[in-house]
Amino acid sequence: MLITVIVPVYNEVQTVADILERVAANTLEKEIVIVDDGSSDGTVRLLHELIESGDEKYFKPWISDMRLIEHGINRGKGAAVRSGLASARGDVVIIQDADLEYDPDDYEKLLRPIISGRSKVVYGSRFLGEHKAMFYWHQVGNKFLTFVTNLLYNTTLTDMETCYKCFLRETVEGMRLRSDRFDIEPELTAKLLKRGYRIYEVPISYNGREYWQGKKITWKDGLTALKALVRYRLFD
């Protein structure tokens, strides 16, 4: 089973080398697809240097490929995920943010329900596992959006907005994803549920960062996510 790890990146020069080293250290057979979304802080230059170096920290025997896709301008996380999916060759896809909030040591947890045949889609829930305390209003917003998801799509998720989404690539084949920004999370969730896939949740660790460390999501993205949940309940 080959795993595709999609790494959307935007202005993460301080963390991207570290997260790629951690992803590479995990001994699962995988390819790593990095999508730089128009970074302007030196991230692209660093990524080129890293890939061209052939450093054994990143190029392990179990890494079949590490490649970089570049967006000339910043288009948003959703656009980066869509580019990564279009390039994916693996049987299973894992989405990995580049900001060190999510730990690649949790990959085995995410994959276990898929390998055992219990589910084709697995989400890592930040609210079921150990985690650094979030901003209060972020947690309220996350729980509200998850509640709306459960209400509209007849499910019982605890963390719809998690960035750790793991699924068989076949589950999204032919799926028309439109979101360019953070609304990729509700769109992907809505369309998987509308296709009849029941999402399996596992506990993951979570080390949320502060805005001064580069956190990008805001309350405006919450409103966009809410609109997306309603829109994709009614339309494709």
Check residue 208 and give its pLDDT.
65
Check residue 209 and give its pLDDT.
46
Check residue 129 and give its pLDDT.
66
Q: Which two tokens stand for residue 211?
A: 């805005």
Closest CA to 88 of 72, 106, 67: 67
The label of the residue with tokens 């799509």 reads: 153
Check residue 135 and give its pLDDT.
56
Which positions of the chain have pLDDT values less than 70?
A: 129-138, 208-219
Separation of alpha carbons 140 and 160, rounded Å: 13
Check residue 213 and give its pLDDT.
42
Backbone angles phi, psi at 170, to 5 degrees: -60, -25
The H or E element spanning position 89 is: none
Separation of alpha carbons 108 and 192, rounded Å: 22
Backbone angles phi, psi at 65, to 5 degrees: -165, 145
Strand partners, 202: 124
Check residue 140 and give its pLDDT.
78
Check residue 206 and give its pLDDT.
87
Separation of alpha carbons 165 and 119, rounded Å: 13
Closest CA to 185 of 31, 76, 74: 76
CB contact at 8 A, 186 and 145: yes
| Residue partners of 182: CB distance under 8 A and separation at least 6 | 76, 77, 78, 217, 221, 224, 225
Check residue 214 and give its pLDDT.
45
What is the residue type of 147?
F
Q: Supply angle C-alpha 161, 165, 167, rounded to 5.
A: 145
| Residue partners of 218: CB distance under 8 A and separation at least 6 | none
Percent of the chain with pLDDT over 70: 90
Separation of alpha carbons 231 and 190, rounded Å: 10
The label of the residue with tokens 């999916």 reads: 85
Per DSSP (E only), the strands in 102-164 are 121-125
Alpha helices in 26-135 (DSSP H): 43-53, 77-87, 107-115
Separation of alpha carbons 184 and 231, rounded Å: 13
Separation of alpha carbons 51 and 17, rounded Å: 10
Check residue 134 and give its pLDDT.
59
